[in-house]
Amino acid sequence: MNKLSLRNYRTFDISVFTVLLVVFEVLAVRAVGWFKEIYSVSLFLSLSLLVMMRWGAWSAVPIVFGAFAYCWAVGAAWENYVVYGVGNLFLLGNLLWFLRGKELVRKGPFLILFVLSGYLFTELGRSLVSLFFGGKFFSALIGFLGTDLLNALLALLVLGIAKRQKGLFEDQISYLRSLRQEEKKRDADEV
């Protein structure tokens, strides 16, 4: 059986999460109209942080596609594509957590701070970018914080569950190495 290269595995993995994020963003926006609700429930933060844990800076791919999917679904003006596309990339500030290792976030009680900082980075980014289009920073920030608070709480729940699943909320290179070591050990034990 041919083994999948790391590059192909990463491409496939990120593509799957990106497609999921795009579909969920479009469905979340459409559901507001279907159910006559005021707020939409988005998995943007959950899935973006999940991919960030798995692949680091490669999470920029679903972050941008998720932003564009949301803007497309709401019929946003081109300025909103910029506000969300660039503003959401501030979420990459969460990569700073990994300077001390991903295990700190994955195994420790720091998951709450990881999600909270991701939520704040995203809202600050959107608010800062909106300044270039004449927005008022504090009113934009309060608006973004208010509309996404439920999604931040959802991200805590989703990532709390994901970190209990082996291999899901883990650095994939480390995870694949541990699988390879287990396989070698099992092969050695069979001999």
- Of the two residues 116 and 190, the one the predictor is more confident about is 116
Question: In this structure, which long-range contacts are made by residues 76-79, counting pairs with CB atoms below 8 Å and at least 24 apart in sequence?
Answer: 79/133
CATH of the domain at 126: 1.10.1760
Residue-number span of the structural domain to which 74 is assigned: 6-190
Q: Is residue 1 part of a domain?
A: no
Is the whole model's pTM more than 0.85, yes or no? Answer: yes
Integer Cα distance of 156 and 180 in angstroms: 30
pLDDT category at 2 given cuts 50, 70, 90 is: low
Sign of the four-CA dihedral 57, 11, 102, 115:
positive
Q: Is residue 50 part of a domain?
A: yes
Percent of the chain scored above 70 by pLDDT?
Answer: 98
Q: Is residue 79 part of a domain?
A: yes
Quote the number of domains for the chain.
1
Q: Is residue 178 part of a domain?
A: yes
How large is the average pLDDT for residues 81-93?
A: 96
pLDDT category at 31 given cuts 50, 70, 90 is: confident
pLDDT category at 36 given cuts 50, 70, 90 is: confident
Q: Is residue 46 part of a domain?
A: yes
Q: What's the confidence (pLDDT) of residue 126?
A: 94
Burial classification of residue 45, based on how many CB atoms lie within 10 Å of its CB (0-12 exposed, 13-18 middle, 19 or more buried) = buried
CB of 64 closer than 8 Å to CB of 85? yes
How large is the average pLDDT for residues 115-140?
A: 93
Q: What's the confidence (pLDDT) of residue 191?
A: 64
pLDDT category at 1 given cuts 50, 70, 90 is: very low
Q: What's the confidence (pLDDT) of residue 77?
A: 93
Q: What's the confidence (pLDDT) of residue 85?
A: 96
